[in-house]
Amino acid sequence: MKDIKSIRNDFPILQKEVYGRKLIYLDNAATTQKPQCVIDAINNIYLNFNANVHRGVHALSDMASEEYEKAREKVRSFINAAKKEEIIFTSGTTGSINAVAFSFGEKYIKRGDEILISHIEHHSNIVPWQMLCQRKGAKIKVIPVDDSGQIIFEEYLKLITDKTKLVAITQASNALGTEVPVKEITEEAHRHGIPVLIDGAQGIQHGTTDVRDIGCDFYAFSGHKIYGSAGIGVLYGKEKLLEEMPPYQGGGDMIKNVTFEKTTYNDLPFKFEAGTTNFPAAIGLARALDYISELGLKDISSREQKLLNYATEKLQGIDEVQIIGNAALKIPVISFNIKGIHHYDAGMILDKLGIAVRTGNHCAQPALERFGLVGTIRVSLCFYNTTEEIDILADGIKKVIEMFA
Ligand code: PLP
């Protein structure tokens, strides 16, 4: 792996100061910073070949279309999908999950059916299923988690019935850091013929993801959490299912033929890409995937795990800090509270010290309620963070404690 100094130099924003202090960015689970090569790739589109994709016969449109389809192929190989047709560009994880909730839901969910989710889902993997259940008269069932924040596998097994029509589960919790055994969950669901959707928003950026190895039927992720820009996401779906599902949005590009009486839909993946997609962001995402592949996903994962261990030990060394979520397998996310100090107050003081952390419920209210909490402070690390930054965080936390003493 490149040395940390040159990695950090790849990210212009990391050289910034806030309030006259060096920026320490520890909010990577919310969104990651962008390397210069991704910024350049997106700039290059607007400077050199901006035109709508799949529409023009002219040179610029051809170039844009070609780069867009190359981006799709890049995503396919990155997650090891079998076919390019299984990769649908969406607006983000939320867009991808809603697409499945509407489209799969329309076709397969009926009154009395059950959808299994876990207690540690992001709101994006709760609300679309609730909305679907309201439309169809179906029901959500929730897999409980233990005190470490890991799902209880035996309880999962008990919840599977002949009414279960989908398991929708996160690969990793954004609120607690728990890495969920999605492969085992998928295998078990498939034993009962139940399809599985995985919310990969917090999983894909931390190591190798192989959708065929996991075996999942749908996989969703966001470009902005994996060093690409906002406004782009991916829905992977197995071809057979996607073929059977109706489109959830109508418009340009998703059609073959339109009359006032009848429309025939386009082939995959275009059937699910109505209207002008965010093609510059898709092309930027492909560059981001190249960038992290060049760094090495195994090296990224091992560096991040070292940072996680270092930060966990540092925070455990402060008496007033209580970490929530101690699963054996975690992504580099640490959620904690400081005894007697509101998480917002702590977050605001840390901010003034140049340290960006997230505070609040992390869009995972039920996950925090499980631990009797309304919010935490969340530190989320990635490969460009350093142990020095973690030291400064620990000093900052001690300063917060002193101020409130
Ligand atoms: N799922 C998880 C686990 C997340 O952490 C997030 C965002 O934080 C989302 C879904 C939603 O992602 P987006 O807002 O990019 O659609």
**217, β-bridge pairs:** none
Q: What is the pLDDT of residues 242-294, one digit of tens each?
A: 999 999 999 999 999 999 999 999 999 999 999 999 999 999 999 999 999 99
Q: Which two tokens stand for residue 319?
A: 């008496």
Number of separate helices (H) and strands (E) present in the chain: 14, 17
d(CA 179, CA 195): 20
CA distances from 104 to 8, 98, 253, 278 (A): 42, 10, 20, 23
Please give the distance, rounded to the nearest whole angstrom, from the Cα atom of residue 245 to the centre of ligand 1: 24
> Which atom of ligand 1 has the smallest separation from the CA of 121?
3
| Angle at 371 (CA atoms; ends 359, 194), nearest 5 degrees | 100
Ligand 1 contacts CB of residue 202 (under 6 A): yes
Helix (H) or strand (E) holding 245: none
Provide the pLDDT for residue 254.
95
> Which atom of ligand 1 has the smallest separation from the CA of 94?
16
Mean pLDDT, the chain, whole residue set: 97
Provide the pLDDT for residue 99.
98
What's the start-to-end Cα distance of the chain, in Å? 43
Provide the pLDDT for residue 215.
98
Provide the pLDDT for residue 56.
76
Contact 272, 247 (CB under 8 A): yes
Contacts of residue 251, Cβ cutoff 8 Å, sequence gap at least 6: 274, 275
Ligand 1 contacts CB of residue 177 (under 6 A): no
Does residue 340 carry a pLDDT above 90?
Answer: yes
Give rounded-to-5 percent helix, strand, coil for the chain: 45, 20, 35
> Which atom of ligand 1 has the smallest separation from the CA of 93?
16
Q: What is the pLDDT of residues 3-62, one digit of tens each?
A: 999 999 999 999 999 999 999 999 999 999 999 999 999 999 999 999 999 877 899 999
Please give the distance, rounded to the nearest whole angstrom, from the Cα atom of residue 168 to the centre of ligand 1: 14
Active site residues: 363
Q: Which amino acid is at 237?
A: G
- For 282-296, b/e burial (b = at least 16 CB within 10 A) is bbbbbbbbebbeebe
Report all structural domains of the chain as residue ranges with CATH numbers, in order of start.
4-30+296-404 (3.90.1150.10), 39-293 (3.40.640.10)
Q: What is the pLDDT of residues 73-128, one digit of tens each?
A: 999 999 999 999 999 999 999 999 999 999 999 999 999 999 999 999 999 999 99
Please give the distance, rounded to the nearest whole angstrom, from the Cα atom of residue 201 to the centre of ligand 1: 5
Please give the distance, rounded to the nearest whole angstrom, from the Cα atom of residue 297 to the centre of ligand 1: 21
Please give the distance, rounded to the nearest whole angstrom, from the Cα atom of residue 30 to the centre of ligand 1: 8
Ligand 1 contacts CB of residue 199 (under 6 A): yes
Please give the distance, rounded to the nearest whole angstrom, from the Cα atom of residue 348 to the centre of ligand 1: 23
Provide the pLDDT for residue 55.
76
> Which atom of ligand 1 has the smallest separation from the CA of 230?
15
Q: Report which protein residue has its CA nearest ligand 1's atom 4.
A: 201
Q: What is the pLDDT of residues 224-250, one digit of tens each?
A: 999 999 999 999 999 999 999 999 999
Q: What is the total residue count of the chain? A: 405
Phi (first) and psi of residue 378, to 5 degrees: -125, 125
Question: If 0-12 CB within 10 Å is exposed, 13-18 middle and 19+ buried, where does residue 252 land?
Answer: middle
Mutation test residue for ligand 1: of 28, 89, 90, 94, the one with most atoms within 8 Å of CB: 94
Mutation test residue for ligand 1: of 225, 330, 335, 362, the one with most atoms within 8 Å of CB: 225
Mutation test residue for ligand 1: of 117, 120, 122, 235, the one with most atoms within 8 Å of CB: 122
Q: What is the pLDDT of residues 177-209, one digit of tens each?
A: 999 999 999 999 999 999 999 999 999 999 999
- pLDDT above 70 covers what percent of the chain? 100
